[in-house]
Amino acid sequence: MPADEMRDRLIVGLDVPTLAEAEKAVAELGDTVGFYKIGYQLAFAGGLGFAQELVQSGKKVFLDMKLLDIDNTVAKGVENIARMGVTMLTLHAYPKAMRAAVAAAEGSGLCLLGVTVLTSMDEQDLIDAGYEYDPHTLVLRRAEQVRDAGMGGVVCSAAEAEAVRAIVGPDLAVVTPGIRPAGAALGDQKRVMTPAGAIRAGASHLVVARPVVAAADRRAAAETILAEMLTAA
User: Do the annotations mark residue 68 as ligand-binding?
Assistant: yes
88 SS3 class: strand
d(CA 233, CA 222): 17
User: Do the annotations mark residue 171 as ligand-binding?
Assistant: no
User: Do the annotations mark residue 15 as ligand-binding?
Assistant: yes
User: Do the annotations mark residue 125 as ligand-binding?
Assistant: no
Q: How many CB atoms lie within 10 A of CB 196?
A: 19
Q: Which of 24, 66, 76, 96 is catalytic?
A: 66
Backbone phi and psi for residue 176, each to the nearest 5 degrees, phi listed first: -120, 110
Instruction: Determine whether 117 is exposed, middle or buried from the number of CB atoms within 10 Å of its CB (0-12, 13-18, 19+).
Output: buried
User: Do the annotations mark residue 126 as ligand-binding?
Assistant: no
d(CA 138, CA 176): 16
**173-176 and 10-13 beta bridge pairing:** unpaired
> What does DSSP assign to residue 170?
S
Contact (CB, 8 A) for 144 and 187: no
User: Do the annotations mark residue 64 as ligand-binding?
Assistant: yes
User: Do the annotations mark residue 29 as ligand-binding?
Assistant: no
User: Do the annotations mark residue 224 as ligand-binding?
Assistant: no
Backbone phi and psi for residue 206, each to the nearest 5 degrees, phi listed first: -115, 135
Mark whether 190 is an active-site residue. no
User: Do the annotations mark residue 71 as ligand-binding?
Assistant: yes
SS3 content of the chain, % helix, strand, coil (to 5): 50, 15, 35
User: Do the annotations mark residue 66 as ligand-binding?
Assistant: yes
- The set of catalytic residues is 66
* Binding-site annotation, residues: 15, 37, 64-73, 119, 180, 189, 210
- Residue ranges for the binding site for substrate? 15, 37, 64-73, 119, 180, 189, 210
